[in-house]
Chain A
Amino acid sequence: MNNENILYLISLLEKQMENKKKEAMKGVNKNKELQALDRMESNLLKDVNEVINIENEKIWDLIKDEVEDLDYDKVMQSFSFIKMLLEGNKKNNLGFELDDSQKTLIELLLKGMKTKKIKLEEEHNRKLEEAANSKDKIGIYKDSISALKNSTKIKSLDLIEEIFKVNNISLKKQNEIILDLIRHNMNLSTSSESGIDSIFEKYGYDYNKLSADIKLLVLENDPSENIKAIRNFLPTLKETDKVFSYILLYSEPSIIKEISEIAYKELIDFELICKMFNIFIKVNKEIISLDSKKEKISKVGAYEYFKENVEFLHKINISPSKASKINPLILITPTHILKENDYIQTNNYKINPTSIIDKINLLTSFESIKIIDSYIEAGLYNYILKNPFLVTSVPGKMRFYNLKYARQNQIPIFTKDETGNIAMIKGIHSVNSFMGITDENKEQKIGAITIPNAEYDEIVNNNYDYSISPSLSNYKIFDYLKNYEDFNGMMYIFDENKEGNPIYISKNKVLRYFSILINNGVTNIEKALLYSFTKDLIITEKEYMEIKSIIRRYI
């Protein structure tokens, strides 16, 4: 099993492991107590007077275990006396000498120091050993070396890449090693195959056309079953295509078969299926991106979306084939987005696209409910009913700031276009030029305030249930608010001051957000209502106070 390249790799791994060990050991600081004790011992050996500088408690701590049944008081008394003698000698040059028993005590202290040092050194060495064998830092090397030596599957591919980089291994040598690693792993997992290159060959592919990166990833993902499925169900894919690599590495034979059969049955363009290739990968599959970043990513697959979307399109009488030709994203858009957009068309908002193009683009548009709410709140619900395609696009929120400014300043927003049809005036969609309104000054121009109501955002942003809660009938405020509804019940219109510039608020928005908050246990009704009314609303302080006062009046 261990050929020259594998042995070479083992030696590189061992070298790198030793370096990592040294690095880890450098991180263990020398024990400060041991260093202090070292100094203390060395000084005491040079000059007995050094004992004067050692606290009695420290002395006791060092010698207490050296002799059995030592008497604390007696020992402390003796050391105090020794210190007194030595200090007398030092200051007054009295020439007292220590007697034998006193010398024995000093020796006992030195012995205690030695014992303590041994203990501390042992502890330090243990820490070094722990660092040098840390599972976090060293375990990965040990496991890989052991896998190569003991003929088990090697899994740590990031490590191999690191080894190549650190040792500046040539691309040619890298390829040789990788090939042998693949053989190493394959021989362990498929006894009937002699090597990965021969599996590729068996199904008519050239293994050597894969890049070194892909070859490395092949190590982790035994691809023999997927190669067979690709050959059988996606025969036009080439091994040099990125889509081939993704399906090879991250799909499953049953998925390849199932998707191909659905596409065939539904007459969905095969070329398109290959462009939307993440439909071959499960939504929650963790994969490594094959672009230059090589990050681990998840939730990028669309297998479940594809299946559910095809089913859902049939349910609403739209051909998946036709829909995917108009807008291919319909195949990989999360199903809840399609359902949300269908809700707009079929339920409370009564948006009714006249053409199939509008219908499909509306199904795949993002944040369309919010866009409709914003149009309603700009007083343009009827215009949206006549031009439902507008819901599928909005250049940021700027369009609504422009509309608000136009309304505040009685600027007409409709004109006839080149073909004689009624259209919004040029510039109203602009991000940066309408009446001098820019992204930077938009609030100032309108006098809009930032509403302090982000606290429920997490609840509403993670909730895809748009049904209005039946429990809302328990809240009297909605009965009172009927007086403020417009003729077709789509919005509340507040014009308390009768200044001819009323506040429009999307009724569905209020009921939807309030339902979500109530269903999620929010109990502060006033705050929940204020949030539901003012969420995403472009509003002046005066208007905000007016809404607040109405809520307080009827709550």
Chain B
Amino acid sequence: MLEYKKEISLVLLRDTLRIRMIESRLAELYAEYEMRCPTHFSLGQEAVAVGVCHHLKKQELITSAHRSHAHYLAKGGSLKKMVAELYGKKTGCATGKGGSMHLIDLDAGFLGAVPIVGSTIPIGVGASFSAYLQGENKLSVIFFGDAATETGAFYESLNFAAIHKLPVVMICENNLYSVMSPLSVRRPEGIKLSNIPQGFGVQSFHADGSDLEEIYQTAGQAIEYARSGKGPVFVEYINYRWLEHCGPLSDTHLGFRTEEDVINGKKKDPVRNYKDKLLKAGILTDSEFSKWEKEIAEEIQEAISFAKESPFPEKEQLLEHLFAA
């Protein structure tokens, strides 16, 4: 229990609930086929984003990958612009040219997300390296999934960040599957992912990615370590993807995991579990929680209306922005 700051507990829960409700609503609306872009929902994986980003200053940059909604929202990215982007509208965060897989909000310190696995790891390192070249110390936080640790870009980036002791925090959310491929076909048996960075002399942590307090506290240690100039840090959080890899539906009919697996996975629900904990501790009341739900639902409705009512980009924008002036 975060005894020392009860208000932080409440903010963490509320922010996680917010992402849960946004993702749930967008997944429902996806069935209308108006969001016409590949969309990787963060349902079940909201808590890591919240627990990590709560430590960050606005100007500290983060990068993400294909499943980026939670990171974008937790960092303070505009909800309206995100929803509009999913609807392909001109008012979207990338003017409709990006979609769910290419979110950006520079005002919020969200440098960008791309779906090529591992690609944003060196880009995030570069954001920190930039400050290093200018004689400054600037934290950069990079979110990626377990599969990214199978790319060369990950190892190359880890090595380079370690050489120059760059203040980079690599957050690996291990949700056990890459699309549908299990860890057993992707990693030798018995290898613990958080041991790998130690071979580069990089400090690493391992934590439960469904426990908001554990996430928050581990991230705090990791970020403090990086900020203090000791070099990069790696954190592996174990969490669980509730929906199919890409899209709003279940995937248990495809045979790689069972309905029972998903039911078990959902037992580690970061929202429900932390809510129960805070209720029991008397920090939260049911009426407070209901009030949040109402407020958030209104915020979501407003964002959806904004997105739906926004104009599409004009056809002239097709050829715009090929090159920067």
A interacts with B: no
Binding site for B on A (CB under 8 A): none
